[in-house]
Structure 1
Amino acid sequence: MSELLAFDQLIAGYGNAVVLNRLGFTLQQGESLAILGRNGVGKTTLLETLMGNTRVMQGAIRWCGEDITRWPSHRRVRAGLGWVPQEREIFPSLTVEENLTVIARSGAWNLKRVYEFFPRLEERRGNYGNQLSGGEQQMLAIGRALMTNPKLLLLDEPMEGLAPIVVEELAASIRRLCESEGLASIVVEQHPVLALEMTHQAIVLERGTVVHAGTSAALAADTALLESLLGVGIAEVPDDV
């Protein structure tokens, strides 16, 4: 596999505040990566930086071998970054179908294919965004990102506030995107076991830098290491998800 993305000794943050401190990692074509760490260590900032929404002080971001550190956000989207933000940010006054088509770009992912992937969206195609359940809104946010035909899907807390049965369904969908569709992904998820189940690789952040990197399977199997890195007890999937 060839390199898709690399952070090279990146220092970034907001204004004069440094959040990511000499951050470095790579992601290969078709791989999925879990970003883990305690609250406030820079997980969401990593995604925001990748999308061009923070201030980069030093270092570089490489995308398919090209330095994109100074690219504006819209150019990054055109290059293949698909963004599913934590707040979902669907358009409440547009229908499901309008949400999906308003930013669509030509490619393998079209309306028919998204509806096949998320049949519930087709059932709700005429409903407005604010008429959907939380799980349906998350499906719509993912579907909308897929309609841009990305090479890399960025998911920030995709399971936040969802019922366990919906979490299970969405986790299976995210795994299928990578394993069956060959779409690379980066997942920030507050429940580490769930994040590791959805991904091939994992990194753990502390104070904006990588303190552990390895396969998701190996980290999931080493409960003691996982607990020491995150500083909390590890549960499968909490009942109050």
Structure 2
Amino acid sequence: MPELLALDNVTAGYGESVVLEGISLSMQEGDSLALLGRNGVGKTSLLVTLMGLTRLHGGGIRWRGRDITRMSTHERAHAGLGWVPQERYMFPSLTVEEHLTVVARPGEWDVRKVYELFPRLQERRANMGNQLSGGEQQMLAIARALMVNPSLLLLDEPMEGLAPIIVQELTRVIRALVVERGMSVIVVEQHARLALSLTKKAIVLDRGRVVHESDSDSLMQDPDTLNRLIAVA
């Protein structure tokens, strides 16, 4: 499979502060990656670095063999990086359907298909963004990212603060995207076992560095290592 994304010895942070140090990783088309680690180790910073929102102190980023190190955020989105931020960023002045259509780009995903994936959004299509529950907002955030027709979907804590029934629904959706549609994803998730169950590969960060890299199944079957790296009981 051709290379989709590669980070070569990336060091990045905010201003003069370095958060990520010497990060190297690569993904092929159709790969799925769980990005794990304790709070504050740089997981979200890695995603926003991929979107061009941190200061790069060293290293480089390639997208399908092209150097995108200096590419702007909107150019990265147009190139095929889809980001679902932890904060969701709903617009109170836009309806559900307007959230979707305002970002739409040509491709497989359109309003009809995301409504098939999230029937609840179709029921709420005339509601404003701030009239949705937390779970519905998360569905809309994922659906909005799909409307960009990304080649790689970046999911930052998609299950945070959600009711168990919504977690089950979103787990089903993400698994369908990965397994049935072969979408490339990077998942940052505090529930390590859940993230591992959704992905093929895993990377664990500690203090801004990669300290473990393996396939997800192997890490799932090694509770001692998982507990040592992430403090999972």
TM-score by length of 1: 0.95
2:7 matched to 1:4? no
Q: Which amino acid aligns with 1:226?
A: L
Extract unaligned runs of 5+ from structure 2: none
* Percent of pairs with identical residues: 63
For residues 182 and 81 of structure 1, the distance between their equivalents in structure 2, rounded to whole angstroms, comes to 15
SS in 1 for 2:121: helix
Give the C-alpha shift of residue 200 in structure 1: 0.9
Residue 143 of structure 2 corresponds to 143
Residue 188 of structure 1 corresponds to 188
Residue 60 of structure 1 corresponds to 60
For residues 72 and 90 of structure 1, the distance between their equivalents in structure 2, rounded to whole angstroms, comes to 22
Residue 159 of structure 2 corresponds to 159
For residues 175 and 232 of structure 2, the distance between their equivalents in structure 1, rounded to whole angstroms, comes to 25
Residue 92 of structure 1 corresponds to 92
Residue 232 of structure 2 corresponds to 233
For residues 30 and 90 of structure 1, the distance between their equivalents in structure 2, rounded to whole angstroms, comes to 29
- Runs ≥4 in structure 1, deviation > 3 angstroms? none
Q: Which amino acid aligns with 2:106?
A: S
For residues 214 and 233 of structure 1, the distance between their equivalents in structure 2, rounded to whole angstroms, comes to 17
For residues 233 and 141 of structure 1, the distance between their equivalents in structure 2, rounded to whole angstroms, comes to 28
For residues 64 and 46 of structure 1, the distance between their equivalents in structure 2, rounded to whole angstroms, comes to 18
Q: Which amino acid aligns with 2:153?
A: L
For residues 181 and 120 of structure 1, the distance between their equivalents in structure 2, rounded to whole angstroms, comes to 21
Residue 44 of structure 1 corresponds to 44
Extract unaligned runs of 5+ from structure 1: 235-241
- For these two proteins, the number of residue pairs brought into alignment is 233
Cα deviation code 1:146-197 (max 9, x no counterpart) = 0000000000000011011110110110111111112100000111011111
For residues 14 and 233 of structure 1, the distance between their equivalents in structure 2, rounded to whole angstroms, comes to 29
SS in 1 for 2:8: strand
For residues 207 and 2 of structure 1, the distance between their equivalents in structure 2, rounded to whole angstroms, comes to 31
SS in 2 for 1:11: strand
2:171 matched to 1:175? no
Q: CA RMSD in A?
A: 0.8
SS in 1 for 2:88: coil
Residue 17 of structure 2 corresponds to 17
Residue 220 of structure 1 corresponds to 220
Mapped contact 1:24–1:209 kept (Cα < 8 A): no
Cα deviation code 1:41-93 (max 9, x no counterpart) = 11000001000000001100111011101100010000000010000012122
Residue 199 of structure 1 corresponds to 199
